[in-house]
Chain A
Amino acid sequence: MTQAEFTELYKKYFPKVFRLCKGYFGGNSDIATDITQEVFVNVWQQHETFRQEANIGTWIYQIAANKCLLYLRKASTRNEQSTEILPDVQDETYDTSTDEKLQKMYACIAQLDDSNRLIILMVLDGLGYDEIAAIVGVSEDTLRVKIHRIKKALTACVTT
């Protein structure tokens, strides 16, 4: 991988990885920024080991998902996750209640267990089931059932 190719990858995937990490850590931008940078440090350090026949996006998401999961080993932040820092919103239909809704959504996502949180964040970001299955390492059938359950739980939490 050349430096130019890395820069392209960085531009394309930084927002996606950042959003995944931010969702995982309950809206905490600081932790999300740290982890996202770590992910790309890893990508650059290990790009030689990347198999060309694999999907680079899947590879990056795998690193990101595992970095988020193992962050707990680095620091006991599980109970310190903040929902104070919320994302900016872009939409003409934006109203003040959007902030509250987003805050509630982040809080509901934070209530899910680790792996379910990662899965639903990838669903929210529009990844296909086949891609998520490859990242997580479970069969598509299992994933389908899981996602159905997570969607139900998240919707119930957000609407109450």
Chain B
Amino acid sequence: MDTFDDIQALWGKQNEPHPSADSPDKIMAKADKNKKELRLNHLSTMAILTVTVGVVIWYASVFGNRAYTDVTIGLFLMIASMILRIGFEYFSLRKFNQITPKNTTKACLEATISFQKLRRRIQFFVTPLSLLSYVLGFVMLLPYIKAGVSEGFYWYILGSGVVLLIFFSVIIYRQIKREIHLMNHLEESYTKLME
């Protein structure tokens, strides 16, 4: 094999592939099912988010003016941080799915890079904010938890809360690291394409 023609000839020697894939009928059925599932998934996520926000608003309006204002604010901060995070991830996923693959490689890479840049900017703003909100809410609740439960259970709640926070922080850190790596890789691909 000395020339590119030899390589091309070798490539041509491969059999027509017969992969163990689904038949066209199954592919069409799968595509239609996926479409329906996506719509259903979107609706159910929106419903869950709306109900959760509704419950938080209702809770704040009913108990907001009572004696345990710190409890209300604390709970609100913790729930809000989670809603913020889930909402961000969900809308981010939807935005990514809108990047159409039926475009030129150049356009698709440009759209993905711009999406990743936006995500990175939000990630550096929303993530610390939601973590801060969660910690603040948790700290505000601690005195009330201490007053309401046994000392052993209090330490258990405190310990598990800290462990959970560290666990989620590690997951988020790894996610951000992976996204930065992906971003660099996409940018490198784009630069090479345009060279």
- The 8 Å CB contact of B112, one of A70, A154, A158, is A70
> Within the assembled complex, what's the spacing in Å between the Cα atoms of A87 and B4?
19
Cβ A62 vs Cβ B101 within 8 A: yes
Question: Which of A11, A45, A76 gathers most chain B CB within 10 Å?
Answer: A45
Cβ B195 vs Cβ A146 within 8 A: yes
Cβ B105 vs Cβ A137 within 8 A: yes
What residue of chain B has the Cβ atom nearest to residue A32's Cβ? B19
Please, which residues of chain A bring their CB within 8 A of the CB of B94? none
- The 8 Å CB contact of A69, one of B4, B189, B195, is B189
A contact face: mostly helix, strand, loop, or mixed: helix
Question: Which of B22, B104, B178 gathers most chain A CB within 10 Å?
Answer: B104
Question: Which of B1, B3, B31, B178 gathers most chain A CB within 10 Å?
Answer: B31
What residue of chain B has the Cβ atom nearest to residue A44's Cβ? B31
Chain B contact residue count (CB 8 A cutoff): 48
Cβ A138 vs Cβ B193 within 8 A: yes
Cβ B112 vs Cβ A73 within 8 A: yes
Taking A41-B30, A98-B10 as contacts, is the C-beta distance between A113 and B192 under 8 angstroms?
yes
Taking A69-B105, A115-B192, A146-B195 as contacts, is the C-beta distance between A90 and B13 under 8 angstroms?
yes
Cβ B15 vs Cβ A158 within 8 A: no
B contact face: mostly helix, strand, loop, or mixed: helix
- The 8 Å CB contact of A63, one of B14, B102, B106, B188, is B102
Cβ B105 vs Cβ A66 within 8 A: yes
> Within the assembled complex, what's the spacing in Å between the Cα atoms of A73 and B115?
12
Task: Please report B residues at the A interface, Cβ cutoff 8 Å.
Answer: 1-4, 7-8, 10-11, 13-17, 19-22, 24-25, 27-28, 30-32, 34-35, 96, 100-109, 112, 178, 182, 185, 188-190, 192-195
Query: Can you name 18 A-B pairs with beta carbons within 8 Å?
Result: A14-B21, A15-B16, A18-B19, A18-B21, A40-B24, A44-B31, A46-B102, A66-B101, A70-B101, A89-B13, A89-B15, A90-B13, A91-B13, A105-B7, A118-B105, A124-B11, A125-B11, A138-B106
Task: Please report A residues at the B interface, Cβ cutoff 8 Å.
Answer: 3, 6-7, 10-11, 14-15, 18-19, 22, 29, 32-33, 36-37, 40-42, 44-46, 49-50, 59, 62-63, 65-67, 69-70, 72-73, 76, 78, 87-91, 94, 98, 101-102, 105, 113-116, 118, 123-125, 134-138, 146, 151, 154-155, 158-159
Beyond A42-B31, A98-B13, A136-B105, list 16 extra A-B contacts (CB 8 Å). A3-B28, A15-B16, A44-B28, A46-B102, A62-B101, A62-B103, A62-B104, A70-B101, A90-B13, A90-B14, A101-B1, A101-B10, A105-B7, A114-B192, A115-B193, A137-B103
